[in-house]
Amino acid sequence: MHTVTLIKGDGIGPEITEATLSVIEAAGVKINWDEVSAGEGAIAEYGTPLPEEVLASLRKNRVGLKGPLTTPIGSGFRSINVALRMELDLYANLRPSKTIPGVVSPYRDIDLVVVRENTEDLYSGVEHMVGSDAAESIKIITRKASERIVRFAFEYAVKNNRSKVTAVHKANILKLSDGLFLDTARAVAEKYPQIEFEDRIVDNMAMQLVQKPQLYDVLVMPNLYGDILSDLCAGLVGGLGLVPGANIGDQAALFEPVHGSAPKYTGQNRVNPSAMIMAAVLMLDYLGEAEAARRIENALAALILEGKNVTADLGGTAGTAEMAEALVNLIKA
């Protein structure tokens, strides 16, 4: 039996989490859930949106499943998600975006994986005022972080039978910082001759993804570009409600949907749980439960293709709980 840290999250988090737990149980995976509280719901009890017990649980169990969290305005955290990644050194953000038949989109046959460096770049938070009329943010790129994220991308490509890795940068303008990232990527690529390697300037990459996304496979990039382009890739396959995310380090991994907590929909039983369910699929793969992961993934694809027992954004009339129930029945059948 696996022991996994569980953070149900804020807003719609508890609803989509409960839906996901029922699906995992239906797939026959035995998990001991170590539930902890973070986000807005933790402030009243702990006085902080990120209690120490959350970090302690993740360090102990080394695997976590997390619903969306709200970062309260005025707290000490720029982002709870960023704080979790920094504290646990979850340096690799993995965001797959894949076409699901039945989802309305002008694009077909999309199968992209964004590998985003998670710990530095402008997200290091090193910024200050210069006088009263200017602000300065410092972009930090190191060889160590660049090397390990590019290596992660190539290792992912090898293990998952992917054929190409594309490094995304702005080294034509940011010659030192992005230049270092690109030089490091090229050096790492030489160690993986079986995987095709190329690089693209980030603005051109955005255009390429809109015009001919089928030409690309695994994309690796610094933090800010990854944040932006991973959402663009999600848009190609139907939106953030269908896309999972994983934050992986050498000592722990945290899996989550990439959308927000959507507080205005709290308790309305109308939110699509697919992104949270697919985050669980990534987690099950990480735990070595590939057979159960494929059963859930295939059942969800079949349910969406049928188009009946799904939420309104997918063309159906089901609520969150009803969609989860239909998925459970499909898995059991």
**Which residues have C-beta within 8 Å of that of residue 262, sequence separation ≥ 6?**
11, 12, 68, 271
The mean pLDDT of 59-66, rounded to a whole number, is 98
Angstrom distance (rounded) from CA 321 to CA 327? 10
Catalytic (active site) residue 123: yes
Cβ count near 203 (within 10 Å): 13
- 302 pLDDT higher than 90: yes
Share in percent of the chain as helix, strand, coil (round to 5): 45, 20, 35
Instruction: Please tell me the predicted confidence (pLDDT) of residue 70.
Output: 87
Catalytic (active site) residue 66: no
Query: Which of helix, strand or coil describes residue 70?
Result: coil
Instruction: Please tell me the predicted confidence (pLDDT) of residue 76.
Output: 61
- 72 pLDDT higher than 80: no
Chain Cα centroid distance, residue 284: 14
Instruction: Please tell me the predicted confidence (pLDDT) of residue 100.
Output: 95
Chosen CATH of 106-236 out of 3.50.50.60, 3.40.718.10, 3.40.50.300, 1.10.645.10 = 3.40.718.10
**Residue found by looking up tokens 């910082």 in the block:** 177
Please report which confidence band the pLDDT of residue 86 belongs to, taking 50, 70 and 90 as the band edges: very high
Instruction: Please tell me the predicted confidence (pLDDT) of residue 77.
Output: 66
Query: Which of helix, strand or coil describes residue 166?
Result: strand
Instruction: Please tell me the predicted confidence (pLDDT) of residue 133.
Output: 97
Instruction: Please tell me the predicted confidence (pLDDT) of residue 167.
Output: 98
Report pLDDT digits (tens) over 211-257: 999 999 999 999 999 999 999 999 999 999 999 999 999 999 999 99
Catalytic (active site) residue 203: yes
The mean pLDDT of 30-55, rounded to a whole number, is 93
Instruction: Please tell me the predicted confidence (pLDDT) of residue 44.
Output: 83
**Residue found by looking up tokens 């982002």 in the block:** 79
User: Are 180 and 213 within 8 A, CB to CB?
Assistant: no
Dihedral, CA of residue 97, residue 101, residue 104 and residue 105, to nearest 10: 50
- Please pick, among 10, 66, 91, 123, the residue that the annotation labels catalytic: 123
Query: What residue segments make up the domains of the chain, in order of their start?
Result: 1-93+240-333, 106-236
Query: Which of helix, strand or coil describes residue 236?
Result: helix
Report pLDDT digits (tens) over 134-146: 999 999 999 999 9
Which value, in Å, is the radius of gyration of the alpha carbons in the chain? 20
Tokens of 235: 């848009």
Angstrom distance (rounded) from CA 106 to CA 91? 33
Chosen CATH of 1-93+240-333 out of 3.40.718.10, 3.50.50.60, 3.40.50.300, 1.10.357.10 = 3.40.718.10
- 66 pLDDT higher than 80: yes
Report pLDDT digits (tens) over 26-37: 999 999 999 999
Which residue type does 299 have?
A
- 98 pLDDT higher than 70: yes
Instruction: Please tell me the predicted confidence (pLDDT) of residue 74.
Output: 56
- Please pick, among 121, 170, 178, 199, the residue that the annotation labels catalytic: 170
- Please pick, among 203, 250, 308, 332, the residue that the annotation labels catalytic: 203
Instruction: Please tell me the predicted confidence (pLDDT) of residue 73.
Output: 65
Domain 1-93+240-333 matches domain 106-236 at the CATH topology level = yes
In whole numbers, what is the pLDDT of the chain averaged over residues? 96
Whole-prediction pTM? 0.94
Please report which confidence band the pLDDT of residue 41 belongs to, taking 50, 70 and 90 as the band edges: confident
Report pLDDT digits (tens) over 159-201: 999 999 999 999 999 999 999 999 999 999 999 999 999 999 9
Report pLDDT digits (tens) over 262-300: 999 999 999 999 999 999 999 999 999 999 999 999 999
Catalytic (active site) residue 91: no
Instruction: Please tell me the predicted confidence (pLDDT) of residue 124.
Output: 87
